[in-house]
């Protein structure tokens, strides 16, 4: 959280000087847990990520039919469970009947889809959480529920929240201005970024590492925005060394042990 708190201070003081970054400061964010070693978003994936020293565990949120927040990247359960259909068409209880591990290997047969509460209750304040929100039914809908869960457990200082939705992040910023926010960017939108608008509500941007170079990182730092990168799983190992050398502030990695070599 150190660097993100520095950004908050900069925004409050109005300083516009470039923000320095060293590789020692690089945040290592376990993408969907340690997803190369265990099925994504399951308890073993998160446990392995924490054991391996990730700075944050990343949690993609989806909302169930009965309004519960669960750890799931895709809109449907098809890819990562033995079920079919949209997450939003299932209640939490119905999702619990699905197998979230067998697709990965027989070793993880029987793993369950996790609610957000289960994850934060398991790891508590000893872990940092990097949480992605989404629009629900074409409107904001997760933000109050998420803040309620975190607030009740005194975890508001343990989170970074990211989203591709400016509306979701602006809603979160309105509800709580102290939580660091990362505006995710679709590849096609990166050339048209309006960094001086984004920094009015967010502390940084997240984008595909293949689109980053040193000049881009410097430009974002001048605008008081951190740069966090994600990768295509097939190209991460090829480009992460260069991406880190450009001075990015964080990497969302599918290969945790490999990524730590570059810090």
- CA distance from start to end of the chain: 16
User: For residues 99 and 245, what is the distance between their CA atoms, to the nearest angstrom?
Assistant: 40
User: Quick one: tokens of 207?
Assistant: 């984008």
Packing angle, helices 143-152 and 116-123, rounded to 10: 20
Outline where DSSP puts E strands in 111-179.
129-132, 159-163
Q: Does residue 252 contact residue 29 with C-beta atoms inside 8 Å? A: yes
- Cα-atom radius of gyration of the chain, to the nearest Å? 18
Identify the three-state secondary structure at position 194. Answer: coil
Instruction: Provide DSSP, 80-122.
Output: TSS--SBGGGS-HHHHTTS-SSTTT-GGGTT----BHHHHHHH
Catalytic residues: 31, 73
Q: Does residue 262 contact residue 240 with C-beta atoms inside 8 Å? A: yes
């Amino acid at each position: 959280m150190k660097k993100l708190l520095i950004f908050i201070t900069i925004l409050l003081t109005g300083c516009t000087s470039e923000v320095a970054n060293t590789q020692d400061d690089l945040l290592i964010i376990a993408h969907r847990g340690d997803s190369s070693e265990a099925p994504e978003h399951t308890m073993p994936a998160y446990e392995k990520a924490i054991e391996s020293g990730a700075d944050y565990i990343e949690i993609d949120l989806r909302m169930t039919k009965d309004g519960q927040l669960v750890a799931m990247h895709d809109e449907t359960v098809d890819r990562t469970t033995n079920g079919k259909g949209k997450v939003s068409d299932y209640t939490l209880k119905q999702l619990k009947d699905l197998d979230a591990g067998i697709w990965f290997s027989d070793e993880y047969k029987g793993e369950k889809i996790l609610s957000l509460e289960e994850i934060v209750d398991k790891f508590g304040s000893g872990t940092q959480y990097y949480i992605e929100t989404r629009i629900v039914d074409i409107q904001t809908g997760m933000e109050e529920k998420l803040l309620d869960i975190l607030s009740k457990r005194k975890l508001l200082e343990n989170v970074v929240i990211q989203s591709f939705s400016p509306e979701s992040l602006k809603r979160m910023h309105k509800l709580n201005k102290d939580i660091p926010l990362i505006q995710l960017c679709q590849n096609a939108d990166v050339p048209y970024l309006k960094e001086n608008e984004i920094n009015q509500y967010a502390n940084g941007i997240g984008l595909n590492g293949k689109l980053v170079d040193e000049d881009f990182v410097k430009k974002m730092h001048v605008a008081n925005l951190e740069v966090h990168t994600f990768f295509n799983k097939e190209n991460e190992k090829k480009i992460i060394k260069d991406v880190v050398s450009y001075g990015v502030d964080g990497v969302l990695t599918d290969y945790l042990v490999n990524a730590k070599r570059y810090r």
